[in-house]
Amino acid sequence: MAIMLDIVSFDRQLAELPFTPILLNDYDTKVVEEKKKLNSFITRVYSSDTLDITPQCGCGFYNRGELLGTVCPNCKTVVTYPAEQEIRSTVWARVPEGIDAFINPLVHLVLASELNIKSFETMTWLIDASYRPNVKRPIELKNYLEQQFDVFGIRRGVNSFIQNFDRIMEILYKGPTLRGPKNTEKVDTLREFIRIHRDKFFSQYISFPAAMMFVIENTPTGRYADSKMEGAIDAIGTLNSIYHPTTPLSARKKENWMAKVQLKLLQYHAAIFDEFIGKKKGITRKNILGTLHPFTTRTVISSITANHRYYHLHFPYAPFTLTNKEHIQSKLFHRGYSPRAARAFVAEHVRNYHPMMSELHDELIADTPFDGIVCGFVRNPSLDRSSNQCLEITKVKRDPQDNTIGLSVMILKGSLGPVTQKCCYEELPNAGTYLEPCPPTTPGNRVWG
């Protein structure tokens, strides 16, 4: 199923949450213990070069297999496998006292892209009374807006923007950057966008990105974080200063700080959607292969050194266990395990070797009519080469710490090089149907199992 962006109502999202969210308003980051607790909700810290696939809650407080399905008392999320955790925000914020509402960051992004001009950030000027454009020459749009605001008694600021939104948009439609026949289509598109999504523009609550988006990596050489997260982190810090100021804030100063929060959220969303998501090439990779589907996993590769066929894969213990846990649990049911006991056994031995788990792996492979379990093997992003091949898992490794997929070096030329290989079905006497590589063909062929 394809994925598309849409404008959402934060207040409606909050009402539909299946858990009680963490409210930023309740934590004062000037208190050390509260700051540590809040950080555990909004960030994920990794100190290893491999990702832990042990079941855990959103904050990591509960991280044992036998706790699978229980609710963490700390972050109120259900303990589940990391690969199955929804990218769902658990940290929310209620609009500060004295501020009418939050501006939806995606709406802000759309309006800024349509209204801002090269020498003048229109949206920033509208919501931030402290903004001064860094140009010496007169700006026609700025002079026009100042004149119209005086006529209608509108002031700059977040609250005024929310209260007078429709009037401000009508003023802009008639302004020097949008009036005239050449801008008719642009104005019509803006009007239609506002008509469809008007009820989602402003909200009393807003969510912050899920913790799995805020990744901090500890390495021997330092502590690293994605620079694209800076905007959201700064927004959290500024908003917390509004909730818990060291000295009382005037109404005007609170509005100016709130404008900074909105602009920092805009910075984050612009970085994520314009730079990170928008620049990924290819609809298939972006919307299908970029989405985690059931019975899929992603690992690095290594070469098979023993005798093997072209289509053989040697799969790592932990990813195979997690990807095929439903089939493993089914086999455990037939061995007398209850559903709860079967789930607990799998969860406990995802990263811990157990002889019976390896026995179940071998049974799954033996159950297939082929040499192994047939699977699609995808190498992103080379979708115009034979990066998607139909192969067979013929062996599961015994070492839970080895997270590499072993494959034939013969595949590398097809997946990575300029010449592709095509797999064909062939019938052999008394051997059934199996996949056999044909001689290399010209570039451009795709492999579909």
Write the CB contacts of 352 (distance below 8 Å, at least 6 apart in sequence). Answer: 400
Predicted local distance difference test score (pLDDT) of residue 94: 93
Mean pLDDT of 178-190: 89
Instruction: Give the global pTM.
Output: 0.61
Strands 404-407 and 300-303: parallel
- Whether 307 and 428 map to the same domain: the answer is yes
What pLDDT is attached to residue 432?
Answer: 34
> Are 261 and 308 in the same domain?
no
pLDDT in tens, 200-250: 999 999 988 776 666 666 666 666 666 777 788 888 888 888 998 888 899
What is the token pair recorded at 189? Answer: 């598109």
227 and 270 in a single domain? The answer is: yes
Instruction: Give residue 169's pLDDT band: very low, low, confident or very high (50, 70, 90).
Output: very high
Q: Which segment of 77-81, 146-150, 249-253 scores lowest on mean pLDDT?
A: 77-81
Is 222 found in the same domain as 194? Answer: no
Q: Write down the pLDDT at residue 8.
A: 86
pLDDT in tens, 133-148: 887 777 889 999 999 9
Range of 405's domain? 300-437
Query: Domain check: are 89 and 134 in the same one?
Result: no
Tell me, yes or no, whether 110 lies in a domain.
Answer: yes
In sequence order, what are the residues at sequence separation of 6 or more whose Cβ sits closer than 8 angstroms to the Cβ of residue 106?
Answer: 5, 7, 8, 269
Domain for residue 446, yes or no? no
**Rounded average pLDDT over 157-185:** 92
Residues 6+ apart with CB under 8 A from 376: 388, 389, 390, 391, 449
In terms of pLDDT, which residue wins out, 419 or 213?
213
Residue 115 maps to a domain: yes
Contact yes or no for 358/418 (Cβ under 8 A): no
Q: How far apart are CA 20 and CA 75, in angstroms?
A: 9
User: Residue 381: is the preceding peptide bond cis (ω within 30°)?
Assistant: yes
Report the Cα–Cα distance between both ends of the chain, in Å, rounded. Answer: 20
Nearest of 19, 41, 33 to residue 91 by alpha carbon: 41
For position 60, what pLDDT does the model report? Answer: 74
Residues 387 and 339 in one domain: yes
129 part of a folded domain: yes
Shared-domain flag, residues 92 and 210: yes
Asked if residue 2 belongs to a domain, the reply is no
Residue 70, H or E segment: none
**Could you tell me which residues come within 8 angstroms of residue 166 by beta carbon, excluding any fewer than 6 positions away?**
none
Task: State the pLDDT at residue 138.
Answer: 74
Residue 438's H or E segment, with its range, is: none
**Do the domain assignments include residue 5?**
no
Output b/e per residue, 326-337; b: 16+ Cβ within 10 A: ebbbebbeeeeb
Residue 268 lies in a domain: yes
Q: Does pLDDT of 130 surpass 60?
A: yes
Q: Does position 327 have pLDDT exceeding 80, yes or no?
A: yes
Q: What is the pLDDT of residue 112?
A: 92
Question: In this model, does residue 160 exceed pLDDT 50?
Answer: yes
State which of 198, 223, 240 marks the end of a domain.
198
Q: Please write the tens of the pLDDT for every residue from 426-444.
A: 333 333 333 333 333 333 3
Q: Are residues 72 and 126 in the same domain?
A: no
CB-based burial label for 212 (10 Å; 0-12, 13-18, 19+):
middle
Same domain assignment for residues 86 and 223: yes
Whether the pLDDT of residue 278 is over 80: the answer is no
Residue ending a domain, among 168, 198, 228, is 198
Ranking 22-31, 67-76, 308-317, 394-403 by mean pLDDT, the lowest is 67-76
| Domain annotation covers residue 3 | no
Question: How many domains is the chain built from?
Answer: 3
Same domain, 150 and 15: no
Element of type H or E holding 55? none
Domain stop point among 183, 198, 213: 198
Q: Residue 442's pLDDT is what?
A: 32
| CATH number reported for the structural domain that contains residue 342 in this entry | 2.40.40
Cβ proximity of 51 and 104 under 8 Å? no
403 and 331 belong to one structural domain: yes
Q: What pLDDT score was predicted for residue 123? A: 94
Is residue 223 located within the same domain as residue 339?
A: no
Q: Does residue 179 carry a pLDDT above 60?
A: yes
Q: What pLDDT score does 81 carry? A: 77
Mean pLDDT of the chain: 80
Q: Which residues contact 86 (CB under 8 A, 6 or more apart)?
A: none
CA–CA gap between residue 33 and residue 30 (Å, rounded): 9
| 182: DSSP letter | G
**Which residues have C-beta within 8 Å of that of residue 223, sequence separation ≥ 6?**
216, 217
